[in-house]
Amino acid sequence: MGDVWDVECDVLPGLEGFLARELRRCFRGRVGRVTDSGRSSLRFTFSGSLVELLGLRTAQAAYLALSFSGRRPTGLLGHQNLRDLMHRINVIPPAPGGSPTTPAP
């Protein structure tokens, strides 16, 4: 199986149900409980390659949801948290024509 990711996808208001159905249809058994954040986005766990999420048609954007121990903003200043953050940045697949940290032209 692959890594398990916490993901949040933005969607146009009113299309949350369509995105939830698309997630279940496209990724049977690899999407955990889908939660409506109430901000025109859905949050879920995903098992597999992040590249597969690029094929979603209803979602406008997908984000990795990360949690860090400690208070903000000092929680991100610790060496271990910074290493974890950099590792997650490096596993994000590049956008077509771009790199993970550089937007596509």
48 conformational bin, left if phi > 0, alpha if psi -120 to 50, beta if neither: left
CA distance 26 to 96: 21
Calculate the alpha carbon distances from 5 to 11, 53, 63 in Å: 19, 11, 10
pTM higher than 0.85, yes or no?
no
Domains and CATH numbers, the chain: 4-91 (3.30.70.2810)
pLDDT in tens, 1-57: 568 889 999 999 999 999 999 999 999 989 999 999 888 999 999 998 888 888 899
Which residue has 């940290």 as its token pair?
101
